Amino acid sequence: METNIMDMFEEEKVLKICAPMVRYSKLPFRCLVRRYDCDICFTPMIVAADFMRSNKARDSEFTTNDSDRPLIVQFASSDAQTLADAACVVAPFSDGVDLNCGCPQRWAMAEGYGACLINKPDLVRDMVRLVRNQVAKPNYSTSIKIRIHKDLRRTVDLCQQAEAAGASWITVHGRTADERHQPVNYNAIQTIKDSVSVPVIANGDVRNLRDVEAMHRLTGVDGVMAARGLLANPAMFAGYEGTPLQCVWDWVDIATEQGTPFTCFHHHLMYMLERVSSQPERKVFNSLYGTAAVIDYLHETYGPVQDCGMST
């Protein structure tokens, strides 16, 4: 079922969005967070050139199903036509594409992807425009996800150029490409929000529903995106302070039903259980190998849902 993302912004509520996360925001995890009030999900970042070059890459990097909507596919690209071609491939199975202009990792920057694009506003403009012109779905969204400059005037210029080229909405991570754990710059996000007419999504340090509300109050944004906060608590957007046991067992059901590789299955549970388990318990759990061993451990340690002693 297709969704017009722009209609969702008209509903006068703060949209709650699952961030693109390499290795983690894949189909099974998206299915989980959708059960707990997540409005929109992103795929992990996909390198558009690899995606177009290889059937194997397409099959491994992009999987979805009928209930996986609304869905935004995020690409890394440094070439407008390659991005547009990739967008045309995924358009029948998604509701929008997003250009990653925020990844600060060295390999991405070296390839001309990610955060280095915030210094190439003309290229970003051309990529947004070409996608808009070549995807034959009028309600299909084209967005960008950025980090900020130290000189915020450059960020405002980038966003205004992207808007003029047809960007549907913009996600702003409120840190520069060099910053990792510094406080999020709420004033910068608010300035960008006030400088464009398209919806703006805020990203950075969102760990619970109170953070969502605070981000909206401080910046006036139209939506809030979370990454690590959702990894630790996939039920965060539904107002849970910690991962409820129901959510843990939901993950077990989804992951086993979809044949999720053990490493991915296990790592997600490590994140979910970190806040509710002691260091000795984490050491035991992290050393487990095999889905059956993990399920046995969960039964023995936490019990079924009705015996829940975990946070709500």
pLDDT exceeding 90 applies to what percent of the chain?
90
Q: pLDDT by residue (tens digit) across 57-98?
A: 888 899 999 999 999 999 999 999 999 999 999 999 999 999
Q: How many CB atoms lie within 10 A of CB 281?
A: 13
- Catalytic position from the list 18, 31, 41, 103: 103
Q: pLDDT by residue (tens digit) across 121-158?
A: 999 999 999 999 999 999 999 999 999 999 999 999 99
- The neighbouring-strand residues paired with 171 are 145, 201
Which contacts qualify for 9-13: CB closer than 8 Å, 24 or more apart? 9/169, 9/199, 9/222, 9/223
pTM of structure: 0.95
Q: Are 111 and 135 in contact (CB under 8 A)?
A: no
Q: pLDDT by residue (tens digit) across 268-290?
A: 999 999 988 999 999 999 999 99
DSSP string, 118-130: GG-HHHHHHHHHH
Which has the minimum average pLDDT: 130-134, 177-181, 234-238, 286-290?
177-181
247 against 304, higher pLDDT:
247
Residue 18 annotated in active site:
no
